[in-house]
Amino acid sequence: MKTIKAIGSESRRNFLRVAGAGAGLLALGALSGKDMPFGKPIQATPLANHKRVIIINMLGGNDGLNTVFPTTGAVATKYQTKRPQIAYLPGQGLSLTGGPNVPDYELNPALVNVQSMWNAGDVGIVYKVGYPQQNLSHFVSEDIWSWGARGGPLALPGVAPGWVARYANAYASTAMGVVSIGVGRRLDFEGAATSPVLVSSLGAFNFDTDYNYSSNHVLRLAKVQAILGQQPTGDLAGDIAAAQLASFAGSAAVQSAIADYTTYATANSIAYPTNPGSTNLTSMGSRMRDVARLIYGGFDTRVFYTGYGGFDTHAGQIAAHTSLLTTLDEALAVFRTDMQTMGVWNDVVIVVISEFGRRSYENGSLGTDHGHGNCVLVLGGPVNGGLFGGISSTDMDAEHLPYDTDYRDIYRELLQDHLGNNPAAIFPETQPTSNIPNLI
């Protein structure tokens, strides 16, 4: 009979994570004693004065120039000349004069609800966002954003490679401190000391029914938990059992939150957008509803990460981009109403990012190729609305926009001025430029 060798603390933690995942869920990390799996009991009400940042990643490289476009002067003339088939003309977009008065730009016509938020002073647009020595590869550029360091892990000795993981380790170390929904295990979360919750959807954060014994599903789950609860504590087997019991408890807490939220949403007529001709929610409708479910459930999440793809618009851009932005706009509209109904809109900041912008000129397929400097949207009750930075005539002469604001400076401001945390250890790499906008 083979004996199990003792394993080191780091390997042991990794083993426990795998054990939890083997129970049918992403592991929540080892627990001790009578600790709650999510740091505190679940409650069907949002935490009061609990600040949150929600990151939405427009995967593929969103065309910022057609998201917020210039309408006056030489800048607008060059924009229209370089994009004769896909540029928007003045008046075809949505005015940015109803709130903060920015008459030289308009919003993409698909962003009607974002315009409403702009008019209320709840939208900041940061133009020409990027990083030093741009890289036009999707994969490399996404990694740079995920690391929070232009030099990659080599610029981050002794700390977690993912910036969200570094934040979690320093300021949000509970199992639900940082959460990813619908975008897999991104590098942003790499190196978190506790296993963050990374799910495709909250509905999937559950134990599947064995349809051969469907009528016995509840009993079978109860029996498994009873067996796990009988394992002795203080050894490897006991720790594995504790990790798997945490998975059961975590699933029960999330499913309870879903049920509580459903009652609340029905009573308040909160309905996220569905696909045309279907009762299924849109991709971002589903993901933003999941964020809302956790907020309503009283979980202590500080950073939510989600997003959707399709923004690599090399061909036929107008129709595709309009559809993609409509998906975002409709989900944001309901989410804003949802947060206002809960009374937490002033605790929420949403930042909409993409790995890079597009070329300043259209290509032969009525699309755009990879570029660099881009616009980032920041939305929420605490946001100082307005346009930060802008495009010059010289900028439009180049193949793609340069960068004036490092993306980490946006994150720094949100961490410090909204979440109330010192960002120095989260973004330790020295930058050649620093230009922190006054977003909060």
Give the pLDDT score at 112: 98
When mean pLDDT is compared over 119-128, 194-203, 429-438, the highest value belongs to: 119-128
260 or 11, higher pLDDT: 260
Residue 410 has pLDDT above 60, yes or no: yes
pLDDT over 70 percentage in the chain: 83
290-340 pLDDT per residue, tens: 999 999 999 999 999 999 999 999 999 999 999 999 999 999 999 999 999
Highest mean pLDDT among 118-127, 215-224, 242-251, 427-436: 118-127
Within 8 A by CB and 6+ apart from 179, the residues are 196, 197, 198, 199, 294, 299, 301, 303, 304, 305
| Cα–Cα distance for residue pair 292/7, rounded to 1 Å | 40
Does the pLDDT value for residue 183 go beyond 50?
A: yes
Q: What is the DSSP-derived secondary structure letter of residue 23?
A: T
438 contacts 383 by C-beta, under 8 angstroms: no
Let me know: does 98 contact 118? Beta carbons within 8 Å: yes
pLDDT in tens, 52-66: 999 999 999 999 999
CA distance 419 to 423: 10
Using pLDDT thresholds of 50, 70 and 90, give the confidence band for residue 217: low
Strand 386-388 versus strand 94-95 pairing type: unpaired
First and final C-alpha spacing in the chain = 63
Measured between alpha carbons, how far is 16 from 8 in angstroms, rounded to an integer?
12
Range in 144-158, 197-211, 405-419 the model is least confident about: 197-211
Cβ atoms of 193 and 223 closer than 8 Å: no
pLDDT mean over 209-236: 71
The Cα 337–Cα 314 span in angstroms is 34
| Arithmetic mean of pLDDT, 204-209 | 68
Average pLDDT over residues 281-294: 98
Q: What percent of the chain has pLDDT over 90?
A: 74
Q: Which CATH architecture has domain 28-418?
A: 3-Layer(aba) Sandwich (3.40)
Q: Identify the pLDDT of residue 255.
A: 84
Mean pLDDT, residues 221-236 taken together: 72
Average pLDDT of the segment spanning 329-354? 98
What confidence tier does 404 reach under pLDDT thresholds 50, 70, 90? very high
| Residue 218, token pair as written in the block | 């509840």
Segment 198-209 mean pLDDT: 79
pLDDT, average across residues 120-148: 98
pLDDT band at 212, cuts 50/70/90?
A: confident
Predicted local distance difference test score (pLDDT) of residue 393: 97
> How do residues 354-391 score in pLDDT, each as one tens digit?
999 999 999 999 999 999 999 999 999 999 999 999 99
- pLDDT recorded at residue 249: 67
- The pLDDT, as a whole number, for residue 10 is 42
Angstrom distance (rounded) from CA 273 to CA 267: 17
Task: State the Cα angle at 154 between 149 and 155, rounded to 5°.
Answer: 40
Query: Residue 326 in contact with residue 285, Cβ under 8 Å?
Result: no
Q: Domain locations in the chain? A: 28-418
- Res 223: pLDDT: 67
DSSP three-state, residue 76:
helix
At 297 the pLDDT is 94
